[in-house]
Amino acid sequence: MPKALIVYGTRTGTAGITAQEIARTLEEQGVSTRVVNAKEGKVDSVAEYDIVIVGSGIQIGRWTGEPESFLKKFQRDLAGKRVALYVNCGSAAEAMNPGKPEVAANARRDYLEAKAAKYDLAPIGLGFFGAIYNFNKMSWIMRKGMEQERPKLAAAYKETEPGVYDTRDVEGIRNWARSLLPK
């Protein structure tokens, strides 16, 4: 049975929820998966994995530190593997930036393509996924800023729980995960 490792970093949970969705999808395809929150779990080796997926949520243009440390630590081992990267970010929520396709294009370049280049990786997939905005968990200052965006969010996306807006295309995430498997 092929094995996949999914390592993620998150600040508010989105990249972890996405990691679980990717894992569930791969498991359905007969892949054995291990999901690691890079802040809590430790990976000693990637030798046993056929696919390694590394992801992060984005704040102020940056990945979290832990999955980046993982990429640095295993850079050489990852060079010979099927590797994929993903991010969860607001820039991927197209309805939040109407008529500005450059927002998503620039973010994809900065958060994914540049990261792959930095660690000399040739990923088999770059997953560019939307954000989850949780008004219950935001700092006071963030909520103040986001309240202005809330009508736009509410018009375009589902409120999955009171105050929680999921801008991710979950079927898109599942299709992406399946695309990582050899044909």
Q: Cβ of residue 166: shortest distance to ligand FMN, in angstroms?
A: 9
Residue nearest to ligand FMN (CB): 57
Q: Cβ of residue 156: shortest distance to ligand FMN, in angstroms?
A: 15
22 or 82: whose CB is closer to ligand FMN?
22
Q: Cβ of residue 62: shortest distance to ligand FMN, in angstroms?
A: 7
Phi, psi of 144 (to 5 degrees): -60, -45
119 or 133: whose CB is closer to ligand FMN?
133
20 or 29: whose CB is closer to ligand FMN?
20
Question: How far, in Å, CA of 178 to CA of 28, rounded?
Answer: 10
Q: Cβ of residue 51: shortest distance to ligand FMN, in angstroms?
A: 21
Q: Cβ of residue 167: shortest distance to ligand FMN, in angstroms?
A: 8
Residues lying near ligand FMN in the complex (CB under 6 A) are found at: 10-15, 57-61, 88-91, 107, 131-133, 142
58 or 82: whose CB is closer to ligand FMN?
58
- β-strand 3-9 against 164-166: which pairing, if any? unpaired
116 or 142: whose CB is closer to ligand FMN?
142
Contact 20, 35 (CB under 8 A): yes
